[in-house]
Structure formats: structure tokens, C-alpha cells
Structure 1
Amino acid sequence: MPTSLFLIAALILYPRTGSRRRLKALYRTDQKPKFNPKSVRVLCVVAASLAAFAAYQVGGAAALVAATVVTATIRERVRRQATWRHKQRAAQDLCTSLDTLIAELRTGAHTTTALKVTAAQSPGDTVGIFERAAARTAVGTYTTDIFTGDQDDDAMRQLSSAWHIAHMHGAALAGLLHTVRDNIVAEQQRKNDVDTAMAGARATALLLAALPLVGVVLGELMGAAPLRTLFTTSIGAGLLVLGSVLGCVGLLWSDRIMDYARTVPAVRP
């Protein structure tokens, strides 16, 4: 039996063929672990399914509905926060690309060449923006929609307008783009300041949404048995579903108000 176990372990640990691949398998300190979104989705689905099954076994259909509502709320909040971080990261990448473009233009490079160099050095998803702009300028297109992408529409409009004005009226393109970049940086700073200022409000909303759970725990400690009422009686089942829905709706509504406050464009004089 030990011999068989050692043989199995040897087969599992046997290095891959090829000296270079064996060395890579042994020395991986310079390689970052790859993030696999599909695996995370599968794990989330499995975890949600297990949680739903456990809720149904403990409290029946009412607990299943309540667990579904809470899970959907958590998923929506995570999605919103991920979207917010993606937009902030995209704005930073856009400013980095604009720095490269402005530097190329100030050295006297042609606009198409400057756009191609910027596209080659752009981080994140901004590569496609400058690749499309380079393709359009290569054929002589200088319209107000030369810049398009998934970033903020206001930033794209400012960039396209600056490009159009520079080629229609002879203004310095590098100076206009630098002004647009400063506007984007100022807007992102304002959004970050608003987001930081609302941290207390978000914590308060989350605390208020969790207060019913605190009440249930206190009831159990006092011997009132609220869980038995919620899981074994029809009135308790209705209150469980209603309380879960109202708490989650209130939390999502608070998130929507705060999302609007931090994303609404600033009023420019």
C-alpha cells in the first residue's frame, strides 16, 4: 500500500518534459497567478446553490426566497462597485495615454504617427480608442466623433471636440489635449472626494440594513425564539420574506442615491 501511494505521488509530481518547461515549473517566482473569471463564476454559482439548498432545508420556501433576495442584492452591490472601480481605472489609463500623445505631438510628430505610438504604449482598454482614432486620421477624418470607446462619454466628447477645433481653426492640439486631460483629472478627483465623503453614509445604510439581524440574535439570547417563529409559522414566513425584501430594497436605493451623487457631472461655469 505505501509503495502504491509513493508511485501515485511520483506520477503527480513528475515534471513536464523539456528542460525549459521543467525549469519554469520549478522557478515561478516571477510569474503572477492568472485570474480566471470563469472559475470564480462557477464557484459563486456552486456556493449560491448550496446556500439556497441549505436555506430551503432549514426554513422552507420562505427562507429560500429570502436567501435568493439577499444573494441577488449582494451580487448587485458587488457589480456596482466593480463597475465603479473599472471606470476609475479606465480614466487613469486614459490620462496616461493622453500624456504620451501630448508628448509625441510636442516633439513634432504627425498626428497619425502620434496616435499609433500612443496606441502601442496605452495601458488597459484605451488601446482600441487610439487605434481607431489613428485609422480615422489616416484617411483624413477629423470629425467630432473621432474618439469613441467604453470610457466616460463626456471625456470622449471633449477629446473629439478638441481634435476637431484644432484641425478646423488651427489651434495648438497639444495644448487643447492638455486642457482636456486636466479636466478629466479634476473630475476624477471630485468623484473620489465625493466617494470618500459618503463613506460614513454607506456604512450607516449597511448598519441599518443589518439591524434586523441584530434583533433576531438578541431575541434568541433572550429566549424569545424568533427563528422558530420565522421558519415554522406562516406569519413568520411572510415576515421573513417581507423584511428581506424591504431591507434589500432600502439598501439598493441608498446605493443608487450615493452612486448618482458621485457620478453626476460637475457644473462648469
Structure 2
Amino acid sequence: MNPAALAALLTFLTCTFARPPRSAGVHRLTPAARTRRAHLRSPNSRIWLLAPPTALATALLGPQALVTALAAVAVVALIAHQRARHQNQKSIATRRANIIEALDVLSADLTAGRPPIAALEGAASISPDFELPYAAAKLGADVPAALTRAAVKPGATSLRALAAAWRVTEESGAAFATLTERLADYLRADEAIHRQTESSLAGARSTARILAVLPAFGIALGYLLGADPLTFLTTTPPGWVCLAAGLALTATGLHWTTQIATPQI
């Protein structure tokens, strides 16, 4: 097997099996235990697992294996970062949709004459972000403060408006059901604009991903023309400079495109 291919294979296998499986019971942990578990699952806390296969490949196969392993780690880390960002954006969109649906349930229950505590219970069954305010209402605590604390999560900022509406209702006696209904309508219209913007930016994101993959096609084209680009990139100092510059520019381009293609609304 080619030394570069063997080093890349060792690195890929280590990255694959070093990643711990996601546990379904993480949400039941205390905050301190959850923090410790997140630290253990962090890629930075497990990066040392890459050392044994990298050192072995370097000792057996020479500097080419080390350069290839480092390049493979960079590529895997870049892919993992992009996937994590995509999953994060997806979870934020899901949270926004759940909050809007929960507000519809809250408004309908209040309009039907149910007390706010019972209405919050129905909303909590739709969106987990309403569980803390519901618990505060059951205990007679400050519900607007609980809504404000729940609004710190990405995608839940609309709960600050609900907290303000709750305070207005407590201080002025305004119809809370009407305020909640209007807030849900506003958020639904805002979400429609957000989805339209996301659709408009999908082309830019796809173009960025295609451009990021083009160097791989360039390497394949080099082999088709009878050259050996991987050997040049992994065995010669000029090749190392080209490889490092290419990876850095690819990562910078993806990050820059992601930043400008993320709607701020």
C-alpha cells in the first residue's frame, strides 16, 4: 500500500472510532455532569488519540506519512466542523418552529379560558423551551424571568418578547391571549422571511462546497495526465507549502462563505 494512503487510512480510522457515541440520556444529567461529559466528548480532549497511529506511520514510513496524516486530520476536522455547523443551524430552525407552534397552543388555550398555568403546560408539551417557565408558574415564581432565561438558547430569542408581554399583562391587565396571538403571527411571518432568505442563499453555499472539493478533482486530473501530485505534496518542501496553503485557503473560504451566507434576521 502507498505510504500516503496507509497514513490517511490510519488517521481516518482513528478519527472514526475515537468519536464517542451520542447518548440519549445526556439531558438527564446535572449541569456539572453535562459539562464534564461535553468536555470528554470534545475533539480537543481526544486529539491525543491520533498520536499513536501518526507516530507509528511516521516511524515506519517516514515524513511522508506524517504530512499525509496531518493533512487528513485537517480535512476530517474541516468536514466535521461544517457538519456540526449545519446540524446547529438545523436545530435552531427546529427550535424556532416548535416555539411558534407552542405559542399557537398557548394562545388557543388562553382564548378558550384556560388559566395561564394550564396553557403553559400545553405549550411545554410542544416545545421543551417552555418547561422552565411552566415549572416557575407552578411554583409561583417569576415567569417572565424564567422566559428570559430560556431565551438565551440559540433560536429561542422570541421568548423575550413573550416575557415582555407577560409583564405587560401583569402590570396593565391587557389581554394576554391577544398579545400571544399577535406574537405568534409576527414570528410566523418572520420565519417565512427567514426561510425565503435561506432558499436564496442555498446556491451560494452549494457553490462554496463545490469549490472546496475542486482541489481533489485537480489531484485526480494530475494522475490522469501521468503526474504524481500526492508524492510532490507530501515529500517535498515546496509541496508541503502548497499543501498547507491550499488547506488554509479552503478552510478560510468555507468559513468566509458561511459567515456571509448566514442570514442575520
Say if 2:120 is the partner of 1:115. yes
1:154-193 alignment runs, 5 A limit? 154-193=157-196
Q: Percent identity?
A: 26
- Contact persistence 1:93–1:122 (CA under 8 A): yes
How far does the alpha carbon of each residue in 1:182-222 deviate from its partner, in whole angstroms, 9 at most, with x for none? 12212222221111111111111112222222221111111
- Going from structure 1 to structure 2, the CA distance change for 1:132 and 1:55 (only over 3 Å counts) comes to farther
Aligned residues: 219
The higher radius of gyration belongs to 1
Q: Supply the distance in 2 between the matched residues of 1:182 and 1:106 (Cα, whole angstroms).
A: 15
Q: Supply the distance in 2 between the matched residues of 1:55 and 1:178 (Cα, whole angstroms).
A: 63
Q: Supply the distance in 2 between the matched residues of 1:134 and 1:98 (Cα, whole angstroms).
A: 16
Q: Which AA in structure 1 matches 2:22?
A: P
1:43-58 alignment runs, 5 A limit? none
After the TM superposition, which parts of structure 1 deviate over 6 Å for at least 4 consecutive aligned residues?
A: none
Which stretches in structure 1 are left out of the alignment for 5+ residues? Answer: 1-35
- Going from structure 1 to structure 2, the CA distance change for 1:106 and 1:38 (only over 3 Å counts) comes to closer
Q: CA RMSD for the aligned pairs? A: 3.1
Which stretches in structure 2 are left out of the alignment for 5+ residues? Answer: 1-20, 25-39
Q: Supply the distance in 1 between the matched residues of 2:211 and 2:147 (Cα, whole angstroms).
A: 47
Structure 2 partner of 1:100: 105
Shift of 1:64: 1.9
Q: Supply the distance in 1 between the matched residues of 2:86 and 2:57 (Cα, whole angstroms).
A: 27
* TM-score using structure 1 length: 0.70
Q: 2:223 aligns with which of 220, 223, 228?
A: 220
Q: Supply the distance in 1 between the matched residues of 2:130 and 2:145 (Cα, whole angstroms).
A: 19
Q: Supply the distance in 2 between the matched residues of 1:197 and 1:81 (Cα, whole angstroms).
A: 17
- Going from structure 1 to structure 2, the CA distance change for 1:127 and 1:142 (only over 3 Å counts) comes to closer
Q: Supply the distance in 2 between the matched residues of 1:148 and 1:132 (Cα, whole angstroms).
A: 13
Say if 2:76 is the partner of 1:75. no
Structure 2 partner of 1:21: none
How far does the alpha carbon of each residue in 1:140-180 deviate from its partner, in whole angstroms, 9 at most, with x for none? x4656644323535301111111111222222111100111
* TM-score using structure 2 length: 0.71
- Contact persistence 2:96–2:156 (CA under 8 A): no
- Going from structure 1 to structure 2, the CA distance change for 1:88 and 1:80 (only over 3 Å counts) comes to same
